[in-house]
């Protein structure tokens, strides 16, 4: 259950509470007793003791010490983790609500704490027979802080809602979420947020000659889909839309270039890019950001069945580029290429694609961030990296030298779909860059989209990575454009 974050004016302790203080002198004397202050003074002297718990006959009081100095990106992340860190104790007490009290100008810390607590409370219990017993009881997080405004709370609730939806989509198995089911879920979500959504079926995809998407789909018993979302507020700040593109491979066996079994069990997450862009657009619409935004989501599974495409095939893409297929497990770039070609219809201000595209990206930087490359979008990339630091979904920008394109030259076609054993994340990007004529950023989220075990507020399974990053970026960009 997603806990709802709300503002409150109350400054008394009537239930489970957390108080943010810079030091003992900031503790409201009407809220803590003399013996408690003596106890806290002693505990505050302990190095590294930033959160102290007092149990008042079943009512929990957390005293959270705020460090001196300006809030850095790293410290904001620490406050998210502190918020998540209170959840196990609250769960033990079956707490349904908690109030966060700010005794000073700590509005950024208190918001980060609430965010971490709300995100960490996510559970995927749909298929658990003991779901009712396991479900978290936390329903409400109240914030009392003079620096926190209603609009901040509205945006945070929309963002948490979107991350929950993204995680659940990624966690859903392919036997219940094939390409058509993904499109239906996105359409339902779009309707809930007032987003215009259209789904192309296989006949329209054939009419458009999306050879990449159709080729990957050839081994599947289920048809592909191509979903288009558009959010255009009454007075958008941008005259040309920003377009988001997400890889929607709902399950990836590798096709005839079959993955080892040990690498296949998490491949329901190969549509995490699609989930991220759809849910980011949902968050933007729910929060009412004044930005014209579209999302393109090509979707299919990749299986080695029937008339599946094979290594050695030469396929024709939507823009008539011919591609020699050397590895059917390099499928994501094929359907993304068709989507990037379709994006030309929008004459976009910027296109950003998100994809669990290469193992090379994961090998390069692990689970600590995503790989980013761009073409003609330098200033946007800098803003995106800054947004990534702020929400701690960090981007490592890779070089994008012209020489990498040489690795994709084919003897029998315009391109081949892999560039060899070196620089795999970059050559995958070079393949995609062949299909663009606009400012473009590519984010490879392979290492961060799915976790084997919980890491703070990033729960096991789908992490929802990309949603918070894109939302923050779009919020900043819309404000910058509005000032021009």
Average pLDDT over residues 119-125: 98
Pairing of strands 350-355, 440-444: parallel
By C-alpha distance, which of 398, 400, 420, 401 is closest to 409? 420
What are the start and end residues of each CATH 3.40.630.10 domain in the chain? Answer: 159-483
pLDDT exceeds cutoff 90 at 157: yes
Binned at pLDDT 50, 70 and 90, residue 470 comes out as very high
Cβ neighbours, 10 Å, residue 436: 19
Are the beta carbons of 462 and 432 closer than 8 angstroms? no
* pLDDT, tens digit, 9 for 90 and up, residues 291-325: 999 999 999 999 999 899 999 999 999 999 999 99
What CATH class is the domain 4-148?
A: alpha beta
CATH 3.40.50.12280 fits 159-483, yes or no: no
pLDDT above 90 covers a percentage of the chain that reads: 89
| Active-site residue (options: 165, 247, 333, 475) | 333
Tell me what pLDDT residue 9 has: 80
Band the pLDDT of 46: cuts 50, 70, 90: confident
Residues in the chain: 484
Alpha carbons 172 and 52: distance in angstroms, whole number:
38
pLDDT in the model for residue 47: 75
3-class secondary-structure state, position 55:
strand
- What is the Cα–Cα distance from 97 to 142, expressed in whole angstroms? 8
Q: What is the pLDDT of residue 127?
A: 97
State the catalytic residue, choosing from 209, 259, 367, 385: 259
Task: Quote the tokens at residue 145.
Answer: 């802080």
Q: How far is CA 473 from CA 146, 249, 374, 468, in A?
A: 26, 25, 15, 8
Unique residue bearing structure tokens 């929400």: 391
Average pLDDT over residues 453-465: 97
Task: Name the average pLDDT for the chain.
Answer: 96
Instruction: Output the CA torsion 288→448→459→185 (10° steps).
Output: 50
The predicted structure's pLDDT at residue 484: 64
Q: Write the DSSP symbol of residue 130.
A: T
Q: Average pLDDT for residues 324-344, to the nearest whole number?
A: 98
Q: Is 206 a catalytic residue?
A: no
Checking if the pLDDT of 358 tops 90, the result is yes
CATH 3.40.220.10 in the chain: give the residue spans.
4-148
- As a whole number, mean pLDDT of residues 352-367 equals 97
pLDDT of 29: 82
Residues 446, 464: Cα–Cα separation, whole Å: 12
Q: Clarify whether 154 is annotated catalytic.
A: no
| Tens digit of each residue's pLDDT (9 = 90 or more) over 414-451 | 999 999 999 999 999 999 999 999 999 999 999 999 99
pTM of the model: 0.97
Q: Is the pLDDT of residue 371 over 90?
A: yes
For tokens 């090509």, name the residue: 298
Side-chain half-sphere CA neighbours of 346 within 13 A: 28
What pLDDT does 14 receive?
77
Cα–Cα nearest to 356, from 251, 208, 222, 439? 251
Task: With beta carbons less than 8 A apart as the criterion, state whether 259 and 267 touch.
Answer: yes
pLDDT of residue 469: 98
Structure tokens at 482: 């509005």
Dihedral of the alpha carbons of 39, 43, 49, 54, in degrees to the nearest 10: -20
Report d(CA 209, CA 92) in Å as an integer. 56
């Amino acid at each position: 259950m997603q806990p709802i974050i709300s503002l409150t004016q109350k400054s008394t302790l009537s239930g489970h509470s957390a108080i943010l203080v810079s030091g003992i002198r900031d503790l409201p004397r009407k809220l803590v007793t003399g013996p408690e202050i003596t106890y806290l003074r002693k505990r505050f002297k302990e190095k590294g003791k930033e959160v102290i718990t007092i149990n008042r006959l079943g009512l929990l009081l957390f005293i959270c010490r705020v460090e001196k100095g300006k809030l850095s990106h790293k410290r904001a992340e620490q406050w998210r983790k502190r918020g998540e860190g209170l959840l196990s104790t609250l769960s033990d007490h079956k707490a349904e609500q908690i109030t966060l009290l700010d005794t000073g100008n700590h509005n950024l810390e208190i918001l980060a704490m609430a965010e971490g607590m709300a995100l960490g409370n996510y559970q995927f219990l749909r298929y658990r027979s003991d779901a009712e017993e396991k479900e978290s009881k936390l329903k409400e997080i109240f914030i009392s802080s003079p620096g926190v405004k209603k609009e901040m709370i509205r945006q945070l609730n929309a963002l948490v809602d979107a991350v929950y939806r993204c995680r659940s989509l990624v966690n859903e198995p392919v036997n219940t979420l094939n390409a058509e089911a993904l499109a239906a879920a996105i359409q339902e979500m779009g309707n809930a947020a007032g987003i215009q959504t259209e789904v192309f079926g296989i006949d329209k995809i054939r009419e458009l000659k999306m050879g990449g998407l159709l080729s990957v789909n050839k081994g599947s018993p289920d048809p592909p889909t191509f979903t288009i979302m558009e959010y255009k507020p009454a007075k958008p700040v941008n005259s040309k839309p920003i377009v988001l593109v997400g890889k929607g491979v709902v399950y990836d066996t590798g096709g005839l270039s079959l993955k080892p079994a040990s690498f296949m069990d998490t491949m329901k997450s190969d549509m995490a890019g699609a989930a991220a862009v759809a849910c980011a657009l949902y968050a933007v619409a729910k929060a009412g950001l004044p930005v014209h935004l579209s999302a393109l989501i090509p979707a299919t599974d990749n299986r080695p069945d029937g008339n599946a495409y094979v290594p050695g095939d030469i396929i024709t893409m939507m823009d008539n580029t011919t591609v020699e297929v050397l590895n059917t497990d390099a499928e994501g770039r094929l359907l993304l290429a068709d989507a990037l070609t379709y994006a030309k219809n929008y004459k976009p201000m910027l296109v950003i694609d998100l994809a669990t595209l290469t193992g090379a990206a994961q090998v390069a930087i692990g689970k600590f961030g995503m790989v980013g490359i761009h073409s003609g979008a330098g200033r946007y990339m800098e803003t995106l990296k800054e947004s990534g630091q702020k929400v701690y979904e960090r981007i490592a920008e890779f070089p994008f030298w012209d020489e990498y394109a040489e690795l994709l030259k084919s003897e029998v076609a315009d391109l081949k779909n892999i560039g060899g054993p070196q620089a795999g994340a970059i050559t995958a990007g070079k393949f995609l860059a062949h299909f663009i004529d606009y400012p473009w950023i590519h984010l490879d989220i392979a290492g961060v989209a799915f976790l084997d075990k919980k890491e703070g507020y990033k729960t096991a399974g789908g992490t929802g990575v990309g949603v918070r990053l894109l939302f923050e970026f779009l919020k900043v960009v819309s404000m910058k454009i509005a000032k021009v």
